[in-house]
Structure 1
């Protein structure tokens, strides 16, 4: 299944005190493979798989970044190198 999808990591910075609320909204959408709370500059780390035919930026904007209390995001695309 994952051969037909692109693995993408998205880091999110949330408004102070809102990371758990944002995480709850993400889980409710059932689109992520893994979701972690992180220390440092970013509050949440998401691993998700986007179908190859989808526009990754549009997918993330439509399915994640419309959630209230997200202040900033950083998306990292992966490439099959090994």
Structure 2
């Protein structure tokens, strides 16, 4: 399994709805509210042979209320 994080910018007033939609979809292992340029930070896991880009395009960015995403790919846990 490989882990990665996605920072999510939401439409104004939609952060709680997006967070609930992520939780309901059961695709994120952790979801946090953040301050700054992005509203949410979510941690995801995919199988080693699964493409991160396709996962984000097909599972995350299709949720209503998401305006922009920024993906952080991780390489190794210490």
CA offset at residue 14 of structure 1? 0.3
Which deviations, in whole Å up to 9, do the C-alpha atoms of 1:48-74 show, x marking residues without a partner? 111111111001111111011111000
The reply on whether 1:30 has 2:53 as its aligned counterpart is no
1:7-46 equivalent positions in 2, closer than 5 A: 7-46=3-42
Query: TM-score, normalised to structure 2's length?
Result: 0.95
Find out whether 1:61 has 2:57 as its counterpart: yes
TM-score (norm: length of structure 1): 0.90
Q: Following the alignment from structure 2 to structure 1, what is the Cα–Cα distance between the partners of residues 46 and 10?
A: 23
The unaligned stretches of length 5 or more in structure 2 are none
Cα distance in 1 for residues equivalent to 2:59 and 2:26: 10
Higher gyration radius (CA): 1
Runs of at least 4 residues of structure 1 off by over 3 A?
A: none
RMSD, aligned CA: 1.0
Unaligned stretches of 5+ residues in structure 1: none
